[in-house]
Amino acid sequence: METPRPPVVDGSPPPLRALTLAVNGQPHPVAVEPRRVLLDVLRRDLGLTGTKEVCEMGNCGACTVLLDDEAVYSCLVLAVECEGHGIETVEGVARGQELSAVQEAFVACDALQCGYCTPGQIMAMEGALRRRPDADEATLVEAVTGNLCRCGAYGNIVAAAARVAASTRSAGVAAPAVAGGVA
């Protein structure tokens, strides 16, 4: 669904702002209207369609991406606010043909179902596990609460992330310290 352009008031189109977005470790110069959301720019300008466009209101989580390793709904973030920050989409979590640990666990635990919410679910879990690599089940359930899955695969989604966290715990990797308190 294409975002409608605002009406022309004085005969000229809205001004564009030139910026460079760091997406999946690569700089992407774009010129955007200041009102455009990150989701729109990722999909339409950069062709990164793994980030799904569903509700456009922050209700479903299908558009979840990482902004400086924090999961955010890209439909609620203005693209101009993202300059100078690292943006990671589902296309960026794999390294070449090698899936991330979360992606591998989603496959192993059958957490994919129809697949439409999967990119947002993966990114929510990537964010949670980057913040706390040895997260417990309650933390993982909380991380996925903002992402709707109409197939009801929540059990498998949490199991996949728990598998990654358990692997981290068995490897002896400690959770990073978080500013202001315990991770």
The model's pLDDT over 46-94, given as tens digits with 9 standing for 90+, comes to: 999 999 999 999 999 999 999 999 999 999 999 999 999 999 999 999 9
At residue 3, does pLDDT exceed 80?
Answer: no
Lowest mean pLDDT segment, chosen from 9-13, 61-65, 117-121, 131-135: 9-13
Torsion angle, alpha carbons of 112, 73, 15, 85, to 10: -100
Q: Which fold has domain 101-171?
A: DNA polymerase; domain 1 (1.10.150)
The CATH label, of 3.10.20.30, 3.40.50.300, 3.40.50.11610, 3.30.1490.20, for the domain at 17-93 is 3.10.20.30
> For the whole model, what pTM was predicted?
0.85
**CATH 3.10.20.30 residue ranges for the chain:** 17-93
Residue 54 in 3-state DSSP? coil
Over residues 97-126, the mean pLDDT reads 95
- CATH 1.10.150.120 in the chain: give the residue spans: 101-171
Burial 3-16 (b: 16+ CB within 10 A, else e): eeeeeeeeeeeeee
Q: What is the pLDDT of residue 50?
A: 95
Parallel, antiparallel or unpaired: strands 64-67 and 86-88: antiparallel
Spatial separation of the C-alpha atoms in residues 182 and 24, rounded to whole Å: 28
In tens, the pLDDT along 136-181 reads 999 999 999 999 999 999 999 999 999 999 998 887 755 444 343 3
Dig out the tokens for 159 from the structure.
Answer: 């199991």
